[in-house]
Amino acid sequence: MPASAQNVYYQKYNKVAANNILETILSNYDGQPVMIDIWATWCPPCKMAHKEMNPVKPKYMEKGVHFAYITSTTSPADEWNGMIGEIKGDHYYVTEEQLNAMMEQVGSDGYPTYLLFDKNGKLQYKSVGYEGLEAIQGALDSVVGK
């Protein structure tokens, strides 16, 4: 996927086993850094973080970082569809079982959860909860340089 892609919508990966969903999503970004944001439409900190991060994302997208947003069927599909147009990045709508397996894999129990993988697929940053724009920018800078 080109770094210039602003919105790509992946409705569902219904046929992917729950314990393989993270690996399946990450395979779309082989050789490229990706910031995964696990969120929900009903999560106020998630929505606030999206608004704060939107202005700085183009800088990182130009440097090849992809932004992937993952939510599940716990977020009403109509509400999700109405929100994602304002959030630049790739969007994944997974089953609740898939999301639960992913959260267990990464050791998270809250929203939002941020996972930053470098171009080699190695996890470089993890945050359960929004630590603020400065923390996320610091993590992104460490992966791509300033």
Per-residue pLDDT of the chain (146 residues; tens, 9 = 90+): 334 344 555 556 777 888 899 999 999 999 999 999 999 999 999 999 999 999 999 999 999 999 999 999 899 989 998 999 889 899 999 999 999 999 999 999 999 999 999 999 999 999 999 999 999 999 999 999 76
Domain topology for 7-112: Glutaredoxin (3.40.30)
Smallest Cα–Cα separation from 71: which of 56, 62, 82? Answer: 82
> Which amino acid is residue 78, in one-letter code?
D
Q: Could you tell me the residue ranges of all domains in the chain?
A: 7-112
> Which amino acid is residue 2, in one-letter code?
P
10 DSSP assignment: E
